Amino acid sequence: MGVAGGVYSLVLPRSVLEGVLRHASEAYPEEACGVLLGVVERGSGVVRRAVPLRNVLQSRDSFWFDEEEWMRVVARGREEGLEYIGLYHTHPGKSPVPSLSDRHRMLECPGEVWLIVGFEPGGRVSLAAYRVGDDGYSLLCIPVEEATE
Ligand SMILES: [Zn+2]
């Protein structure tokens, strides 16, 4: 399942980010991951919902998920008119720079947006979003706009 239309920036409502941060602190010190659902408007992925997935690796420095669980979330979103925009995951105590395995996975998911959240409970939050470029191998860091709603 690919992403409809090219997404070259992300709009992230405050309430969605707060949900991601709650998930991040529950999972801490392990990585948290989930699905970003929303609508695509003029090249921008407007996130409406972030749905947590279980990190089956239960790891502090990597994540992956059960692909059937992922498929159920994407299908349910579609029934509600929401498109699959991509994935989010957290980097506990680290910056939101893609790891080597993140890079490998991303290249397998062209068109998807990956939101990475560097997170520390009670500490600084830093986030960045990436996608594979049109050349199919470079990684682009794309703008994230935080919206009040
Ligand atoms: Zn990562």
Distance 89 CA to ligand 1 centre (A): 6
Give me the residue label for tokens 């969605």.
Answer: 16
Residue 5, pLDDT > 80, answer no
Distance 32 CA to ligand 1 centre (A): 10
Distance 76 CA to ligand 1 centre (A): 25
How far is Cα 29 from Cα 47, in angstroms, rounded to an integer?
25
Q: Hey, what are 140's tokens? A: 């682009």
Tens digit of each residue's pLDDT (9 = 90 or more) over 47-105? 999 999 999 999 999 999 999 999 999 999 999 999 999 999 999 999 999 999 999 99
The DSSP annotation for 58-105 comes to --SS-----HHHHHHHHHHHHHTT-EEEEEEEEEETS-S---HHHHHH
pLDDT given for residue 4 in this prediction = 52
Distance 112 CA to ligand 1 centre (A): 15
Tens digit of each residue's pLDDT (9 = 90 or more) over 15-47? 999 999 999 999 999 999 999 999 999 999 999
pLDDT given for residue 3 in this prediction = 56
Which CATH entry fits the domain spanning 9-147: 3.40.50.720, 3.40.1130.10, 3.30.70.2190, 3.40.140.10? 3.40.140.10
Query: Domain extents for the chain?
Result: 9-147
pTM for the whole structure: 0.94
